[in-house]
Amino acid sequence: MTTIYDIAKAANSSTASVSRVMNGKAGVKPETAARIHKAMGDLNFQPRWRVMEQNRLVVLIPNYKRALESSYIARILSGITDTAFKMGYNIQLRPFNTKNCNPKHLRQMLIQEAAAGCLIISLNENYFPSADIDLTSLPHVIVGHKQKDNGINQIFIDDFKAGYDATKYLIDIGHQQIGIVSFSQIDIGHKARCNGFRKALQEAKLDTNESIELDDASIDAGRSAARHLFNLQKHPTALVITNEDLAIGFQLEAKTMGITVPNDISIVTFEESDLPSLLDTPMTAMRTPSYSMGIAATRTLEEQIENSKKDKQAGPIESLSESITIPLVVRKSTQKLKQIKI
Amino acid sequence: MTTIYDIAKAANSSTASVSRVMNGKAGVKPETAARIHKAMGDLNFQPRWRVMEQNRLVVLIPNYKRALESSYIARILSGITDTAFKMGYNIQLRPFNTKNCNPKHLRQMLIQEAAAGCLIISLNENYFPSADIDLTSLPHVIVGHKQKDNGINQIFIDDFKAGYDATKYLIDIGHQQIGIVSFSQIDIGHKARCNGFRKALQEAKLDTNESIELDDASIDAGRSAARHLFNLQKHPTALVITNEDLAIGFQLEAKTMGITVPNDISIVTFEESDLPSLLDTPMTAMRTPSYSMGIAATRTLEEQIENSKKDKQAGPIESLSESITIPLVVRKSTQKLKQIKI
DNA sequence: CTGAAAGCGCTTACAG
DNA sequence: CTGAAAGCGCTTACAG
């Protein structure tokens, strides 16, 4: 274990000064403080009592306003807390974005928080551990959308397959002119869903009919997509919309414009909350099991923690990833293409 | 400050045994351990380092499954975390219910967690500090529905006034036969809303037309209320429904039964999420500013913490309560009573 | 602003 | 199962 004596030696200073720096007390020359800080980082210093009480799990929440109100985050977090409380862990919430989430910062934060491990709720490229992250040997699970293949443990939605399945369903019920409404490239989930969409069309030898890509993924953006699409000469007979807010806005605006779903157009979307099922025309959707993913992530994390307790010497565990295939729920926003159309 | 020496003396034991008990180590006679535990409770013992690092706010979350998915809780929590993170506090989540929330347990838990203060999200009688609680001198804020008058700090919705205002609005647009659909008495918010409803009718010298009280407050319960009401000979021309899920279920089922809102019946509800505004017939509702309440609660808590730091000797601060009047948003589920009706 | 040294709170190896 | 005593990690009053 590293003590302040080690830090004092490494920083060429005394335990008194180290103690002062640790506790943020005034009266240490900036250069000295800097040396001490560096030594603490290098030697992974943590006060003795923090080493002793590691009963907390840190949950990293995407750092934007009202983040917890998103159904996606709320449901995952709900699964995490329900499970962690049962296991006797406390949950410590922390905001994060890619900038403060490189492996070094992450490790230091976990130490500072006396955390037994961490759960990262991933969203898009802004709220994701940086690409070169390697979390091996650090108990962690990333939950949400897939990031990369190795060096991290993840529970993620198979967005590619979800996009593929949604599209395949539309093809199977006879549609040949299928468009897509999506969020711009920053978002990993939307991107993978689009790729799945393209793959399904390719296999069926169909062209993309209309592809609308929006700057944000809100209800209002969905509304504007509907205005755009229905002001064209022709529109597709079916549409994949890559998240629920876009789909809700789209469907509401379509209705205002006198378009009937599913008579005039079929829509498949991806849902997080109960909302799509409660609209005037309940929507056909790929259903994300966010709550269960939170549970699964917490269980996986606990396994890691237990394992790392058992064999301190054990080499790096191979990364542990679980891909989740999500089901299609057919409701009223889709229908078979009428064979003969004038 | 209380140290293990004080505990050892009080429990008639030695520091070695106190240390063993503190750290849950085996090899202490149960009776001895019990004496030590009692002494630690009596003397408010906490290890020295916990006294030093009080940078956490404990948030007590009603302890039921999927609690965080409720829009009400998620939005309050969202306001709390957004504000606390800015202030540099960590958020520690803890489940609670009335049983484990008497003042003594609460105090011990805060000590154990090294918490600077606590926020309690109140829901109903099951998830509320017990009635005789006195939290004076303990930094805390209860946020949600009003509990009692003295000895606690609260930010709460004025549910009575909300119920009154919703009903008054229906009276003002000409309705005279007004019913209410509500959740059973355990829930403080629903109860107060009902009382406000009755008061408004009383003032207008009207009788309650139909009062349906349900065992739970879900969408399905709302549906069953609609089936019950519309199978009667006569039904009211307007209805107050005391929460959004009941109202959503009610309106969906009414539609299925061929009843048109607002032509056949006007509905006012109370909303937490965006859902009521996105239904086929967007609902007129009293809008709860949960997010802002979370912010206000956190700010109030921080004031208390700062004050208690300044004057350690200061006597108990008088309790600090803020009542929030919530606004009515008129949408499409209500209309003026047609004066002449056959 | 710094460090040697005394002291504090807690833990633990040891003897019973 | 217990306690006296040595020891560990950290803090702080003091002297420079």
Q: Name the helix (H) or strand (E) containing A297.
A: helix A290-310
Q: Does B41 touch chain A (CB under 8 A)?
A: no
Domain range for B19: 4-45
Identify whether residues B185 and B227 lie together within a single domain: yes
Predicted local confidence at residue B342, as pLDDT: 47
- Model pLDDT, residue A342: 47
Regarding whether B177 and B208 lie in a shared domain, the answer is yes
What would the pLDDT profile of A57-88 be if each residue is shown by its tens digit?
989 988 888 999 888 999 999 999 999 988 87
CATH number at residue A205: 3.40.50.2300
* Chain B residues whose beta carbon lies within 8 Å of the beta carbon of residue A61: 81
A107 to chain B nearest CA, in Å?
17
pLDDT at A97 over 90: no
Residues B300 and B152 placed together within one structural domain of the fold: yes
The verdict on A218 and A129 lying in the same domain is no
Asked if residue B270 lies in contact with residue B242, where contact means CB atoms within 8 angstroms, the answer is yes
Note whether A73 and A142 are same-domain residues: yes
Q: Which of residues 173-192 of A touch strand D (CB under 7 A)?
A: none
Q: For residue B60, list its beta bridge partners.
A: B94, B120
DSSP B56-99: EEEEEEE-STTGGGSHHHHHHHHHHHHHHHHHT-EEEEEEE-GG
**Structural domain tally of chain B?**
3
Give the pLDDT confidence of B50-60 residue by residue, as tens digits. Answer: 766 667 898 99
Q: Does any domain span residue A337?
A: no
Q: Given an 8 Å threshold on Cβ–Cβ distance, is A90 in contact with B69?
A: no
Residue A191 and residue A254 in one domain: yes
Which of A17-26, B16-25, B35-44, B154-163 has the largest mean confidence? B154-163
Say whether residue B65 is in contact with chain A using an 8 A CB cutoff: yes
Nucleotides on strand C lying under 7 Å from protein C-beta: 1-5, 8-13
Tell me if chain B has a CB within 8 Å of the CB of A64: no
What confidence tens digit (pLDDT) does each residue in A166-182 have?
A: 999 999 999 999 999 99
Residue B139 has pLDDT above 50, yes or no: yes
Name which of A89-93, A305-309, A312-316, B39-43 the model is least confident about: A312-316
Question: B340 lies in a domain?
Answer: no
Residue A135, pLDDT score:
67
Does residue B329 lie in a domain region? no
If you average pLDDT over residues B211-235, what whole number do you get? 92
Phi, psi dihedral angles at A323 (to 5 degrees): -100, 135
CA distance A65 to chain B (A): 6
In a shared domain, residues A279 and A167: yes
Instruction: Evaluate whether residue B271 is within a structural domain.
Output: yes
Q: Is the CB of B48 under 7 A from strand C?
A: yes
pLDDT of A43 reads 85
Please check whether residues B106 and B76 belong to one and the same domain. Answer: yes
What are the chain A neighbours of B67 within 8 Å (beta carbons)?
78, 81-82
Q: Do A90 and B85 touch (CB under 8 A)?
A: no
Nearest nucleotide to A20 (CA to C1') is D11
Residue A68 is nearest to which of B52, B65, B74, comparing CB atoms?
B74
Q: What is the pLDDT of residue A104?
A: 67
Measured between CA atoms, how close is B74 to chain A, in angstroms? Answer: 5
Q: Which of B266, B287, B308 is the last residue of a domain?
A: B287
Residue A112 CA and nucleotide D6 C1' are separated, in Å, by 31
H-helix or E-strand spanning residue A300: helix A290-310
Write down the pLDDT at residue B137. Answer: 65
Q: B200: part of which helix (H) or strand (E)?
A: helix B188-203
Does one domain contain both B278 and B177? yes
Residue B330 lies in a domain: no
Collapsing DSSP to helix, strand or coil, B24 comes out as coil
Residues A153, A78 within the same domain? yes
B45 with B39: CB under 8 angstroms?
yes
Pairing mode, if any, of strands B90-96 and A90-96?
antiparallel
**Residue B225 pLDDT > 90, yes or no?**
yes
Whether A341 maps to a domain, the answer reads no
Distance A247 CA to D16 C1' (A): 74
Q: Looking at the structure, do residues B189 and B226 belong to the same domain, yes or no?
A: yes
Q: What is the mean pLDDT of residues B128-144?
A: 72
Domain check: are A248 and A297 in the same one? no
Specify the length of chain A in residues. Answer: 342
Digit-coded pLDDT (tens) for B95-107? 887 776 676 677 7
A88 in B contact zone (CB under 8 Å) = no
Give the other-Cβ count within 10 Å of B158's Cβ: 18
Q: Does B329 touch chain A (CB under 8 A)?
A: no
- For the segment 18-47 of chain A, residues whose CB is within 7 A of strand C: 26-33
Domain membership of residue B181 (yes or no) is yes
Å from the B108 CA to the C9 C1':
20
Pairing of strands B284-287, B328-329: antiparallel
For chain B residues 27-56, those near strand D by a CB cutoff of 7 A are 27-33, 52
Does the residue A20 lie in any domain? yes
Query: What is the pTM (predicted TM-score) of this model?
Result: 0.81
Q: Does A230 touch chain B (CB under 8 A)?
A: no
CA→C1' distance for A1 and C1 (Å): 29
